[in-house]
Each structure stands twice: as structure tokens, then as C-alpha cells.
Homo-oligomer: A and B are copies of this chain.
């Protein structure tokens, strides 16, 4: 959760004067998103979310993200369509920071999704991959596997402080991941943060996805692996194979995985756990100044790494 920027009523009024969406009748900061400030904006014409992009998001990437949101909405994928100003431009600024308005989406995220919801999540992820397939823009995955060594080097000491011996274990993982990382898997636009808080359900059916600010171009199966890690571990740390199979089955209703994608899944999931371990460890080692969020526990993903290190037989072979 995060609300960093205080928006005055004058600033809001000036900002809205460039839109054709009426006048504000309610405006509240909401606890959603970790790298942006989000506000519920109600006008006499409808309800919207105003997002103010904080320093953590590279402003140069915003046209890619907003373009993707526009593309997905146009393709019929249930997500928040950006609302352009009168001049047709969606990316604007408020209080000197980049900002954009999107439609308000109904839907509830699931705190502890069961296997049936995991299946729905898988179906939603495949739908997203299909809807984004002809999005023409690309963005390199700056948190992708080629970067993990460089991400770990400055925080190896923090890993060791967390748990003696962990730094050597991580270096070993990184070496293995480099050696075994699959080449030539189908690429596409991936969400890369398809976590339960970013997925809405309605009547236990997939209803929408939000928060596309990690989206990038990478292997589609890697996005499945990120999602498996986010949805299929139990709180006590075990991997729930029933949920994982349900998630994959839901995914394959829309987009069957190739044999190469299936074979790569264990190493992709190990790598996906590494990516979140590394960013959480970095946040833990260097908490953002002024952030109102408590850094997420890096040890959660250290435990997931350990599970993958021991090996998960997802499809009857590892």
C-alpha cells in the first residue's frame, strides 16, 4: 500500500480541467500499488482511479505501460482502460509528477486462493498473454535473469546477515540458473507481477487484472512460473501441487504449454523465486526513504528458493 503524494484540491481541479470527465465529488487516497500513489476519484460522470507515478517508476516506461493498458482494454481483456485528456493524451502530470486516470474496476482479490481460484488465475493469465500478443511495443525485462548476478552482488552481505551461509547458496543458485536457463521459449508481453492482490474475482471467476507496471517482454512460461510462486505456496512454506496443477490447467484452457515450456518450468520457477528474493532483499537492505510501506519479508522467497532447490516435480519430470 502506498500514498506518497498529497494532492491539493486546487491541483486536482486544475488537473481535471484537461479532461472531459466532470468535476470531482469524492477523492480518497487508497492503499493499492507499491510504487505509485493511487486515489479513488469520483466525479459527477463516473468513478476512476488516479495514479501518480513516484520516483520508483521510470517515467520513460510509462507510455509502454499505458499503451499496454489501452491495448488490453481494446482487446476486450478485463483491465482498467486509461482515460485520455481532451487532447487524447493519457499520460499527464500533477504536482510535477507523471499521472494518469483509468477507469475504476469492480472486483475483489482473494487473500488465500484455493485451487479453483488458482485455476481461474491461470485462465486469466493466459487470456492476458493472448490479448497482449499483438501489442507492438516491447520493453526489456530489467529484472530478468541476465541481471540477477549484478542485482545480488551489492546485497550479498545483507543475505549473509539474514542467514549465515545464504550468500554462498545464492551464488550457487545463480550459477545453476545461468547454466540451465532455457533458450528459445516463446516470448511475449508478460505481467510479471500477477500476484493475488493484482487479480480480481467476481463470483469466483476471474474478473480483472491490475497493476501492469512490471510488464515487459520475456518468456511467457516465465510469467506462469512467477504466478505459480505467488499463488501455490501455502503460508507454512510448502508448495501445493494441486493448486499448481489447477493453475496450469486453467492456463492451458486458453494457451497450451509446449513440451519445452513444461520441461523448463522447474528452472523457471526457481529463477522466478530468485527475482523476487533479490528485489525484496534489496528493499529490505535499502528501504525507500519516506515509504509508507513495510518492506516485504525477503525470507518468504528464500524459503521458496529452498523448495525449488530441492526440486518440484510439476509435470512428472523435473
Residues of A within 8 A of B (CB): 1, 3, 8-10, 24-32, 40, 42, 104-112, 202, 292-293
Give min CB distance, A118 to chain B, whole Å: 15
Contacts of A26 in B (CB 8 A): 104-108
CA distance A40 to B104 in the complex (A): 13
Tell me whether A25 and B202 are in contact (CB under 8 A): yes
Known: A1-B29, A106-B26. A40 touches B42 (CB 8 A): no
Check if A31 sits within 8 Å of B10, measured CB to CB: no
Q: Beyond A8-B111, A26-B107: 18 further Cβ-contacts under 8 Å?
A: A1-B29, A1-B292, A8-B112, A9-B108, A9-B109, A9-B112, A24-B108, A25-B108, A26-B108, A27-B108, A28-B30, A28-B31, A29-B30, A29-B32, A30-B30, A30-B31, A42-B106, A292-B293
A40 contact set on B, CB distance < 8 A? 28, 30, 40
Please determine whether A3 and B25 come into contact, CB atoms closer than 8 angstroms. no
Separation of A111 and B11 alpha carbons in the complex (Å): 10
Q: Report whether B27 and A29 are in contact in the complex, using a CB–CB cutoff of 8 Å.
A: no
When C-beta atoms are compared, the residue in chain B nearest to A38 turns out to be B28
Partner among B8, B31, B108, B111 whose Cβ is within 8 Å of the Cβ of A3: B31
Task: With both chains docked as a complex, state the minimum distance between the C-beta of A29 and any C-beta of chain B, in angstroms.
Answer: 3
A110 pairs with B9, CB closer than 8 A: yes
- Which chain B residue lies CB-closest to A104? B26
Q: How far is the CA of A109 from the CA of B108 in the complex (A)?
A: 28
**In the assembled complex, which residues on chain B have CB atoms less than 8 Å from the CB atom of A3?**
1, 31
Q: Taking CB as reference atom, which chain B residue is nearest A49?
A: B28
Alpha-carbon distance A242/B28, docked complex (angstroms): 30
Q: Which 4 A-B pairs have the closest CB atoms?
A: A29-B31, A8-B111, A28-B30, A3-B31
- Min CB gap A301→B, angstroms: 19
